[in-house]
Amino acid sequence: MRKILYFILIVFCIIGVSLVNNERVHAAAPSAKIKITTKETEVFDETLQKKLIILSKATPVIVLSEADGWTEIQYKTVIGYIPSEYLKSASPQYMLVQAKEEPLVRVTNNLQSEIKGKLHLNTIVELYGSATADFVFVKYGKLAGFVNQQALVKPVSKAMIVKSSADLVVREIASSSSQEIGVLRKNSPVTMLTNLKGWAFVTTDKLSGYVLTNGLITPPVEKEKPVKPVTPKPATDKKIALTFDDGPHPKVTKQILKTLEKYDAKATFFVVGQEVKEHPEILKAVYNAGHEIGNHTFNHEKLTTLQPEDMKQQIQSTDAIIKSTIGQRATVFRPPYGSYDETITDQLNVPNVLWTIDTLDWKHRDPKKTVLAVKEGAKNGSIVLMHDIHQTTADALDEILATLQKQGYEFVTVSELLGK
């Protein structure tokens, strides 16, 4: 009898250990959630005492769990803890998988690292971070890791609508057994990015994922309405270039774009690479609205104080992130603080542009003073310096445009003004 009791006790111990191990495995299983670090931060072990690694700002990580102000994350092969306040949700860039064969997803950005899976050709994946390195971090469903950038291209979008016969289920990946993440209502407009064996990846303002292709139709072509003849605007010799530095900003730049559109005005935005990395969707909006994009270095360093290699990196890294975001490089350059020398200009393939009117909007933060500076200095060929990171500048723009338009000025980009 005693032997039987010992045997039963041993069996329960084995089962208990097995259950604990299973729970640990489950706890360490990566989720489908990706977040981005908002600052350089240390990753700690489970005791929150030992430092494992340091992550730079804007690093994508896999979220495993969140509790008591700490987030358990996985970065490459490291699993540890970061204060939750140092992480934020990220808006991915959608990319199309196109290669000779299915690309491998690895744990790290190293060809020798462990393989986590493969990406099917012509699927849409979520890209986090910039696409400037050899390997980039992507997610497809619950598969997340590093893949060769050469296997990804920007998809071609196509306008579609949901059929009127039924609502359409949106799924995480192209499979009827995958997780349901939402529903698209009848007749909803969508943008289709790929069509893959009966599945289409679609995106709207609120929802993105895979739907059955047979639930979509091409929007009907509307009959063209008679167009009234348009009298072309008379040519003017009064041209002025409005320029905005240090953005893009998620709020201020949007307001500036709306005001420019109101007056049919074009401008030049000298962007900072770090801000483009944080807000790529704003740069796309600027570019799609027909404005010119200029390079203003990666993090606004005074170039004349840097070593040649660091100076070169400031310019080239910004060009690279601009191109990866909008598909083309900057067409003009402006040095931070207007400080440059021959070493800097030798690195440029585009015009080095300063200004003729300095509104000092960054200093006084007063809309009235900004308006006055432009009114007093405006003349044909003027280049106005402002900053699209200050709310007061956005608040001044409407009066600036209204006044100059009444005076007969045409608002053009810097390249148009220079005749480039």
Distance, in Å, from the CA atom of 232 to the CA atom of 227, rounded to the nearest integer, reads: 14
Catalytic-role residue among 319, 387, 388, 390: 387
Q: Is 245 a catalytic residue?
A: yes
- Which entry of 245, 319, 388, 398 is annotated as an active-site residue? 245
Q: Mapping DSSP to helix (H, G, I), strand (E, B) and coil, where does residue 85 land?
A: helix
Helix (H) or strand (E) holding 372: helix 367-377
Side-chain half-sphere exposure of 7, counting CA atoms within 13 A:
4
Going by their DSSP bridges, the two strands 292-295 and 332-333 should be labelled as: parallel
Helix (H) or strand (E) holding 347: none
Task: Give the pair of three-digit tokens for residue 160.
Answer: 């579609």
Report cis status (omega within 30 of 0) of the bond before 248.
yes
Please report which helix (H) or strand (E) contains residue 70, including its range.
strand 70-75
For residues 355 and 384, is the Cβ–Cβ distance under 8 A?
Answer: yes
Buried b (16+ CB within 10 A) or exposed e, 114-150: eeeeebebbbbbbbbbbbbeebbbbbbbbbbbbbbbe
Question: Is-catalytic flag, 387?
Answer: yes
Kindly report the CA angle at 323 between 348 and 86, in degrees rounded to 5? 110
Kindly state the tokens that stand for 222.
Answer: 């509307």
Residues annotated catalytic, as ranges: 245, 387
